[in-house]
Structure 1
Amino acid sequence: MGALIRGAIFVLDDNIDTDQIIPAEYLTLVPSKPDEYEKLGSYALVGLPDRYGEFVKPGEIKTQYPIIIAGENFGCGSSREHAPIALGASGVKAVVALSYARIFFRNCAATGELYPWESVERLCDEFETGQEVSIDFEQNQLINHTLGKTYSLKPLGEVGPVIDAGGIFAYARQTGMISR
C-alpha cells in the first residue's frame, strides 16, 4: 500500500450519490481510452450543488484535491463503476467517509482507482475544503496539518492489496488466481 497520501481536501457531506459524482450524460465516455479517461476525470463531481464550489476548475482536467472528506453513505445511487473511475481520473487518491454505499466501496476495489477509508468519527463537519491533510497507511490515521489534529481511520483490510495491485483482475493475476 502507498505509505502516505498528502494534499488538500475537498469536503462533502452525507448521501453524495453517483449522479453527483458523474452525471449520466458522461457515461458514454469509455475509461479504457486514455483521452476519454481524462475527460471523465474533468467532469468528476459536476453534479454537486453549487454550494460546494468547483472540484475541477474550468479548462482543467485534474483537481487540486487528492483527498475527499465526506459524511455518511458516500457513493449511493446506481452501481456505475464510472463513479470511482471519474474520481481517480480527476486525481483523487482517497476518500475518507463515515460510511459508503456498498456498491461504491466494491467498485473502488474492482477498479483499483482510489482508497475508500472509513473514519471513526464524523470529520466533514469539522474540516474545510482546502485544508492540508495526510493519510498514514501504516498507522491508519488522518492528520489534519491545518488544525494540528490526528484522527483514527478504520483499517482498509483486504481491500488495500487489491487497490494496490490496480483492481480485482490485476490482483487476481498477481496472486495467481487467474493466468496472466
Structure 2
Amino acid sequence: MQTQITGKAYVLGDDIDTDQIIPAEYLAYNPSIPEERKFFGMYANIGVPQGQRGLPDGNTPFVEEGQFKTEYTIVIGGKNFGCGSSREHAPLAIAEAGAQVVVAEFYARIFFRNCVNGGYLLPCESQQRLVEEISTGDECTVDIEAGTLTNNTSGKTYPLNPLGDVKPIIEAGGVFAYARENGMLPSA
C-alpha cells in the first residue's frame, strides 16, 4: 500500500449510490476477464446524474467518453458514499478507472468493506466536509501515515480518521491476501 497518493481530485456530493457508480446495465461484463474488466473503468460514475458530476458545475465526466481511464486519482465524496446495493462492482469500477482513494465524510458500510475486502480502493474518512473545500481538478495528496489530505492547489490540510483495524487488510491487498499472509488460507 502506498502511504502517499498524489493526484487530481474529482468531487461528488452526498448519497452517491452504487447504481450511480456502476449502473446495472454494465454488470454484464465479467471482471475476471481482462478484456471485459476494463469496461468497469470506462463506465465508472456514469450513472451520477448531470448536475452532480464533478461539482460545482455538475457536468464534468469522471472518465472521458470513449476512454477507459480517468485523469482523477482521488475521489472526494460527501455523506453516505456508496449507499444502495451491496454491489462489489462499485469500488472495482472506480479503481479500474484509475482512482486509488476515496475520501468521504462517511460511507455506507458495505461499500467501505467492499473497498477493503477486495483491495480495490483506499477508503478514507474525512473529519470535515471536503466537498465544499476542494474542487474537481485540484491537485491533492493523501498521506495515510500522517492521517491528512492536503489540497496542494489551495495549500490547506485536512485531518482524516485513522484506518484502524482494516489497515492490515488494506496493506495486504484485500481480505484473501491477508488471510493467506496470516495462515488462514493456503497459499495460492
Report SS of the residue matched to 2:99: coil
- Residue 50 of structure 1 is matched in structure 2 by 50
Question: What amino acid maps onto 1:89 in structure 2?
Answer: E
Report SS of the residue matched to 1:110: helix
Report SS of the residue matched to 1:117: strand
Match of 1:120 among 124, 127, 130: 127
- What does the per-residue CA deviation read over 1:13-67, in whole Å, with 9 as the maximum and x for residues that have no partner? 1000001100000111111111111111110000011221200001210000010
**Residue 125 of structure 1, CA deviation:** 1.2
- Residue 93 of structure 2 is matched in structure 1 by 86
- What does the per-residue CA deviation read over 1:116-141, in whole Å, with 9 as the maximum and x for residues that have no partner? 00000010012110000000111000
Report SS of the residue matched to 1:134: strand
- Residue 39 of structure 1 is matched in structure 2 by 39
Q: Moved runs in structure 1, 4+ residues, more than 3 A?
A: none
Quick check: 1:168 aligned with 2:175? yes
Report SS of the residue matched to 1:66: strand
Q: Distance in 2 between matches of 1:170 and 1:30?
A: 21
Q: Distance in 2 between matches of 1:89 and 1:160?
A: 21
Q: How does 1:1-180 map to 2 (within 5 A)?
A: 1-51=1-51, 52=53, 53-180=60-187
Give the paired residue count: 180
Q: Distance in 1 between matches of 2:16 and 2:181?
A: 33
Q: Determine if contact 1:135/1:141 at 8 Å carries over to the other structure.
A: yes
What stretches of structure 1 of length at least 5 have no aligned partner? none
**Residue 164 of structure 1, CA deviation:** 2.5
Question: What amino acid maps onto 2:147 in structure 1?
Answer: N
Question: What amino acid maps onto 2:121 in structure 1?
Answer: L
What stretches of structure 2 of length at least 5 have no aligned partner? 54-59
Task: Give percent identity, aligned residues only.
Answer: 55
Question: What amino acid maps onto 1:116 in structure 2?
Answer: P
Question: What amino acid maps onto 1:179 in structure 2?
Answer: P
Q: Which moved more, 1:32-41 or 1:5-14?
A: 32-41
Which TM-score applies when normalising by structure 1?
0.97
**Residue 82 of structure 1, CA deviation:** 0.4
- What does the per-residue CA deviation read over 1:44-97, in whole Å, with 9 as the maximum and x for residues that have no partner? 000011221200001210000010001100000000100011111111100000
Which TM-score applies when normalising by structure 2?
0.93
Report SS of the residue matched to 1:158: helix
Q: Distance in 2 between matches of 1:164 and 1:28?
A: 30
- Residue 56 of structure 2 is matched in structure 1 by none
Question: What amino acid maps onto 1:18 in structure 2?
Answer: T
Q: Determine if contact 1:5/1:136 at 8 Å carries over to the other structure.
A: yes
Question: What amino acid maps onto 1:7 in structure 2?
Answer: G
Question: What amino acid maps onto 1:131 in structure 2?
Answer: D
